[in-house]
Structure 1
Amino acid sequence: MKKRVVITGMGVVSPIGTGLETFWENVKKGKCGISPIESFDTTDYSVKLAGEVKDFNPVDYMEKKEAKRQDRYSQFAVVASDLAVKDSGLDIENVDSNRFGVIVGSAVGGIHTIEKEHEKLLTKGPNRVSTFFIPMMLSNIASGLVAIKYKAKAVNFSTVTACATGANAIGESFRKIQNGECDVMITGGAEAAITPCSIAGFTALTTLSTTTDANRASIPFDKERSGFVMGEGAGILVLEDYDHAVNRGAKIYAEVVGYGATCDAYHMTSPDPNSEGASKSMENAIKDADIEPQDIGYINAHGTSTLYNDKFETQAIKKIFSDYAKEVPISSTKSMTGHLLGAAGAVEAIVCAKALEDSYIPATINHKVSDPDLGLNFVPNVGINKEIGYALSNAFGFGGHNATLVIKRYIKNS
């Protein structure tokens, strides 16, 4: 018999706030976290805006020595994990370490460290490259650091599926508990890719918005959308076996009940124009949850603000939801945070869990010009107070990776 899987802790580091309470309040307020890039000089760049995490000082959360040995993305992951574990109320000493796992992913990994150490190599020579260069740049090291911190000795790996990374991490963690392999999982994604080389690379792909108007940059499903806005941060969840959580008297936010994962097998960067992979991912997740499409009360869309993603994701939603597609509320919180790449799916799963708990559907902010080719309910500018039973979250990535999660409202003793 498959185990029930519940969410008992959540931690966020994001452009609109660090900590679950601050983050969620700013989601409800429709705060825009997009602003001019401050972390490097953009004089020679056509891209000027990003969703940076402002005023983040790792030594507020960890020893200075520890912080110096971690890339920025790992710092985000470790801090968000600490917030999630504290939020969960877990007594680590009373958790069976051999049934306690970690799956934390990152699409890009330690690119801050790579660029810094490469510059050092060119200007000062190979003997000046840091002893910690290799462990700091690895995209799996955040997952390892979290496991070390909490003595989690069960499964540990890092999903690396571009912008589907965080959702895949949660889905794979869900399976580990559902299948009885683990009692507790720390899972999610972290990213810190607002760097000169990364921004230049995504600019070369013509995927980033070049507007200088922060309120018209990340505008998912808007007819005037022109590219996504890079964001950074981390979203971490504590998932638990239902009985394990109940026996220790844990607060339960929501249940993870469905997971779908597919591949377009179509193109390196473009989504499949037939939307087969994306629609199948949603179909599989809904089937896994043992519900019907009409049971979904809210969709947190991948919604990147690129021409093709928003068009093809809308097409996929119409395929799966048929006439109900026009009724179901759909929003993209990337309109607030920008696109957190490997952390996006995890942060957005947290949005879904809070939407279920708080009976509140977030808006797609800064929506001004409706696109008649899309024509769905994208919850423009103002959120909705509404009790919902199930939320669906999409995450799609370069390479054709698709991941979908279905999260259920938790009703005590149900």
Structure 2
Amino acid sequence: MQQEWIVVRGMGSLSGLGCTEAEIAESYAIGKSCFTSFKGNQSLAVSPVSTSSEELLAALLVEKPKYASLDRSVLLAIAAARQAVRQAGWEMKEHSMGINLGSSRGATGLFEQFHADFLTNPEQRLSPMASPSTTMGNLASWVAQDLAAQGPLISHSVTCSTALQAVANGVAWLKAGMAKRFLVGGTEAPLTDFTLAQMRAIGIYSPFSANDQPCRPLNGQQNTFVLGEGCAIFALERMTEAEISQLPTHQRIVIAGVGMGLEQTPSKTGVSKDGQHFQRSMREALLQAQLSPEQIDALVLHAPGTKAGDAAEVAAVSSVFDEHQPSLFTNKNQIGHTLGASGALSLSLAMALLQKQSISKQLQLSNAYSASLAPTAVMVNAAGFGGNSASVILRTL
């Protein structure tokens, strides 16, 4: 029997980087900064989705007016899922596919709107859409409705490692033979007054303006966390080596390993100094992929720009890789931290590296391999509140 692999057949994403393959590739090549001031507040930088992404969402609402009642996070997921399915070449008549999508905050905008309406007039009957349009299950179920899909539907939240844990879950279903195709990823639309106030209350928000490199991962001096919005969804398919050999070379990217870690945290938002959860997830991913540390060419860090979080991850990388440390990359200095979608958007950067796309030096935090060599195995990290982390390894065949 031929060995089977979990292949990344397609990807769709919307963020400050853009919403098309060409636009996103250009953003990576030039190191585009996607920050702007929130509601004119020059001291508060955020990263909204691109103008082209907004136009895509507007077109979606023209096509499907009933979608106007859905939260922005759901609309982002629908648009990205359509792209992923199209790129995968999955015919719409082939409805059987699993869907596992996640978000850290869920229907942020609608929930805050309905809650504000209730506080303003608690005696007035609340909109009947309040409950069904703010449930986390909105994500997978509405994407399935849009694609007329049949299969397992899973929506979840594991804070900022949500998207990578969705990938891990999709891989598990596929490897178990319980599905042949799965859509996985994360979506987040958290640019609201209340959510920004929560992030600032933690004391990690960047003091720098939008035009002054507000998010500075691994700067080691101060917290420079910046909130962003976006979505990325991947079409995964279980395929034999013979089937994979028929694909174009740049499409022969597989998920070689996934790992998850958990540590006992010193506080609700804290991490251990040596990043024990990162160590566990990275080692588990390496073990599952049957790869040694020196075989990983590049690592897309979680690195949200917080002093404690960045330092813990760097310490964990040093522990796991020792003298074989790979090149370190990030796109958070472009789009900030998109919470539950961040791991998926980091995967998009890993895909770009494996496809030999041009990547700006601004995204490279260290250089451990020759710039003339393209990586063949890339690891991606993500972590969230509560001491959880996830790592995914992509490689080319």
Distance 1:93 1:255, change over 3 A: same
Moved more, 340-349 or 123-132: 123-132
Partner Cα distance (1:242, 1:225) in 2: 46
Deviating beyond 4 angstroms after TM superposition, the runs of 4 or more aligned structure 1 residues are 247-251, 359-362
Once the two structures are TM-superposed, the CA of residue 162 in structure 1 deviates from its matched residue by 0.7
Q: What residue number does 1:36 align with?
A: 37
Give 1:19 deviation, angstroms: 2.2
Aligned-residue offset at 1:129: 2.9
Match of 2:263 in 1: 264
| Partner SS, residue 74 of structure 2 | helix
C-alpha separation in 2, matches of 1:192 and 1:238: 21
Which among 161, 172, 179 is matched to residue 182 of structure 1?
Answer: 179
Q: State the alpha-carbon separation in 2 of the partners of residues 213 and 163 from structure 1.
A: 23
Q: Which moved more, 1:401-410 or 1:152-161?
A: 152-161
Three-state SS of the structure 2 residue aligned to 1:395 is strand
Q: Which residue of 2 aligns with 1:311?
A: 311
TM-score, normalised by the number of residues in structure 2: 0.91
CA contact 1:236–1:346 (8 Å) conserved in 2: yes
1:390 to 369, 377, 383: 377
What is the CA–CA distance in structure 2 between the aligned matches of 1:14 and 1:160, rounded to whole Å?
20
Measured at CA, do residues 68 and 124 of structure 1 come closer, stay the same or move farther in structure 2, by a change above 3 Å?
A: farther
- 1:53-109 deviation per Cα after TM superposition (whole angstroms, max 9, x unaligned): 1431423124352331210111111111111111111113135x2xx1000000000
- 2:8 aligned residue: 7
The one-letter code sitting in structure 1 at the alignment partner of 2:82 is D
* Aligned ranges 1:240-251 → 2 under 5 Å: 240-243=237-240, 246=243
After superposition, give the CA deviation of every residue in 1:271-328 in whole Å (9 maximum; x if it has no partner): 1223211111100001100010100010000011100111010000000001112xx2
- Hey, what's the Cα distance between the residues in 2 that align with 1:69 and 1:218? 33
Distance 1:314 1:235 in 2: 25
In structure 2, distance between residues paired with 1:245 and 1:31: 39
**What is the match of residue 190 of structure 2?**
193
Structure 1 residues 387 and 79, CA, compared in 2 at 3 Å: closer, same or farther? same
The SS at the match of 1:6 is: strand
1:212 corresponds in structure 2 to: 209
* Paired AA for residue 378 in structure 1: S
2:229 is equivalent to residue 232 of structure 1: yes
Write out aligned runs for 1:6-405 (5 A). 6-38=7-39, 42=41, 48-55=44-51, 56-57=54-55, 58-62=57-61, 63-95=63-95, 97=96, 100-127=97-124, 129-243=126-240, 246=243, 252-266=251-265, 267-325=267-325, 328-358=326-356, 360=358, 363-365=361-363, 378-379=366-367, 384-405=371-392
* 1:371 matched residue in structure 2: none
Give the C-alpha shift of residue 244 in structure 1.
Answer: 10
Unaligned runs of 5+ in 2: none
* SS of structure 2 residue aligned to 1:135: coil
Residue 393 of structure 2 corresponds to 406
Deviations 1:112-141 (A, max 9, x none): 001111222233445453222222212231
User: Are the counterparts in 2 of residues 183 and 244 from structure 1 also a CA contact under 8 Å?
Assistant: no
Which amino acid is the alignment partner of residue 178 of structure 2? E
SS in 1 for 2:256: strand
Change (3 A) 1:112 1:389: same
Secondary structure of the residue aligned to 2:390 is strand
Cα separation, partners in 2 of 1:133 and 1:209, compared to 1, 3 Å:
same
Is the 2:19–2:50 contact (alpha carbons within 8 Å) kept by the matching residues of 1? no
TM-score, normalised on structure 1? 0.87
What code does the residue aligned with 1:34 have? F
Check conservation: 2:254, 2:394, Cα contact below 8 A.
yes
Partner amino acid, structure 2, of 1:48: L
- Code of the residue aligned with 2:396 in structure 1: it is R
CA–CA distance in structure 2, aligned partners of residues 128 and 207 of structure 1: 39
Deviations 1:335-379 (A, max 9, x none): 1111110001011112112210126555445x9xxxxxxxxx525
How many residues are matched?
Answer: 388
What's the counterpart of residue 374 of structure 1?
none
CA contact (8 A) 1:159 1:168 kept: no
Q: Is the 8 Å Cα contact of residues 253 and 357 (structure 1) preserved in structure 2?
A: no
Answer yes or no: is the 8 Å Cα contact 1:360–1:385 preserved in 2.
no
**Please, what is the CA RMSD of the aligned residues?**
2.4
Q: CA deviation at 1:223?
A: 3.3
How many angstroms apart in 2 are the aligned matches of 1:300 and 1:233?
Answer: 18
Deviation at residue 217 of structure 1 after TM alignment: 1.2
Partner SS for 2:32: coil
> In structure 2, what residue type is equivalent to 1:195?
T
AA paired with 2:386? Answer: G
Q: Give the Cα–Cα distance (whole angstroms) in 2 for the partners of residues 216 and 54 of structure 1.
A: 18
